[in-house]
Amino acid sequence: MKGYERIKKMKRLVILGGGESGVGTALLGKAKGYDVFVSDKGIIKEKYRKILKYNEIEWEQQQHSDNKIINADVVMKSPGIPDKVLLIQKLIEKGIPVVSEIEFAANYTDATIVGITGSNGKTTTASLTYHTLKQDLNVGLAGNIGDSFARQILEHNYSNYVLEISSFQLDGIIDFKPHIAVITNITPDHLDRYEYKFENYIASKFRIIKNQTKADYLIYDADDEIITTYISKHNIASTLLPFSLTKVIETGAYLDKNRIKLTIDNNQIIMPTTNLSLQGKHNIKNAMAASTVAHLLKIRKQTIRESLENFQGVEHRLENILKINKVQYINDSKATNVNATYYALESMDCPTVWIVGGTDKGNDYTELYPFVNEKIKAIICLGVDNKKLFKNFENMVEVIVETQFMSEAVKIAYKIAEAGDNVLLSPACASFDLFENYEDRGRQFKDAVRNL
């Protein structure tokens, strides 16, 4: 019996985590006849508590009551809860399926699913794909972005979904199968959740194609050695559609001078990169991935071109805020790892004051050295512990200072920057030492810039 056929027959659904995905799953679960219980170790936000009360769903906060959880038939856990937590280990030992929202919800829709994962670029690629598809199709955007996937299935009748999917969400799948999978890139990230073994993290990303067949598609970066090596060493059932900036691709997308050439089944579309709304090499790749999805789903060529030209970008990802005294302030708070910051620094075309720092996830900063030497005039370290940043960069720049306040970081940058410079927040680190999350960090940066 398939894993989910077994789960369908179960009646008690316990949800660990009362956030967006947890509450969405609770609503869908109740509608499908489950006895639902929501448990959160922290405090559930008031807006979610109201939804649970209104829908008469039992919940608890600031604790996990074992006696109300261990009797579950199936458990949906928040992606933020590691598998090594004692409660999760107890559930696994008892043979109780522990799944992600993506797995649970996908069972209740026949929609065409586009699943997008990767260490970086997945939010931009998912948003750009959704922006392109919605011109011609009935489509929802969910997963690691926007409203809960489960709740959208309950409240909307979308025939297509674009899902941004993290490795943590992929760890909790059994039968989930996107018709189109995209892997943007793979670089070391979240290794603390994967026993500090990069191969475990790589395998987690490739779970997105675990249940795919030849009738399904994998779109991937053919310039990414980690991805191509994995594909060469494993028997991949999916139909492969690579994209590349450096290689000529017969079936897929590649860069020919300053044009994207995309060919599927002898049907070709050509797009000048100069017209893309998002500039930079990484955004050409994002555009290739999004346009490949759109081409597969029969979106008109003109619609694809226009969508790539008028897309407004993602908040907190290389977001131009204001120009003050001819200095451009740029919010890249979503850069929570070194590879994301690599793309940000690569795209800087003038002297830059760089605000960096936060919770280090075992970062190796050496790949940033050439850009720091070439483009960075000053570094402002914004974190509780900045010793590693000083050790890496203090001999490369004339000015390196530290602070634990965003307002002060922006004021220091304002004093240092001169006409024609950039001030870039691209932390390369998680935000949890000083901020609620990367969104909070980005908004505080924008507020501080506007208050100058």
> For position 247, what pLDDT does the model report?
95
Could you tell me if 204 and 245 lie in one domain? Answer: yes
Looking at residue 1, what is its pLDDT? Answer: 39
The CB density around residue 452, as the number of other CB atoms within 10 Å, is 14
| pLDDT value of residue 341 | 95
Q: How many CB atoms lie within 10 A of CB 226?
A: 19
Average pLDDT over residues 103-118: 97
- Which residue, 255, 249, 218, is CA-closest to 236? 218
Domains: count for the chain: 3
DSSP result, 408-438: HHHHHHHHH--TT-EEEE--SSBSTTTSSSH
Q: What pLDDT does 280 receive?
A: 84
**CATH label of the domain that carries residue 67:** 3.40.50.720
Residues 47 and 151 placed together within one structural domain of the fold:
no
**90 has a pLDDT exceeding 70:** yes
- Residue that is last in its domain, among 250, 275, 310: 310
215, 68: one domain: no
Instruction: Say if residue 190's pLDDT is above 80.
Output: no
Residue-wise pLDDT tens digits, 425-445: 999 998 889 999 999 999 999
pLDDT at 321: 94
For the record, the structure tokens of 54 come out as 């209104």
The mean pLDDT value for 195-212 works out to 92
d(C-alpha 319, C-alpha 332), whole Å: 6
Please say if the pLDDT value at position 325 is more than 90: yes
Of the pLDDT bands very low, low, confident and very high (cuts 50, 70, 90), residue 360 is confident
Q: What is the mean pLDDT of the chain?
A: 94
Domain enclosing residue 81, as ranges = 3-99
Q: Are 271 and 180 in the same domain?
A: yes
Q: Are residues 94 and 119 in the same domain?
A: no
Residue with tokens 């998002």: 278
Q: At what angle do helices 438-450 and 406-416 cross, to 10 degrees?
A: 50
Residue showing tokens 């100058």? 452
Q: Domain check: are 306 and 324 in the same one?
A: no
Whether residue 299 sits in one domain with residue 330 = no
pLDDT digits (tens, 9 = 90+) for 35-72: 999 999 999 999 999 999 999 999 999 999 999 999 99
- What sign does the CA torsion over 320, 324, 327, 333 have? negative
Q: What is the pLDDT at residue 10? A: 61
pLDDT band at residue 8 under the 50/70/90 scheme: low
Which helix H or strand E contains 15, and what residues bound it? strand 12-16
Which DSSP helix (H) or strand (E) runs through 40? Answer: strand 35-40
- With cut-offs at 50, 70 and 90, classify the pLDDT of residue 351: very high
pLDDT tens, residue by residue, 121-163: 899 999 999 999 999 999 999 998 889 999 999 999 899 999 9
Same domain, yes or no: 66 and 12: yes
pLDDT at 5 over 70: no
Query: Do 45 and 169 belong together in one domain?
Result: no
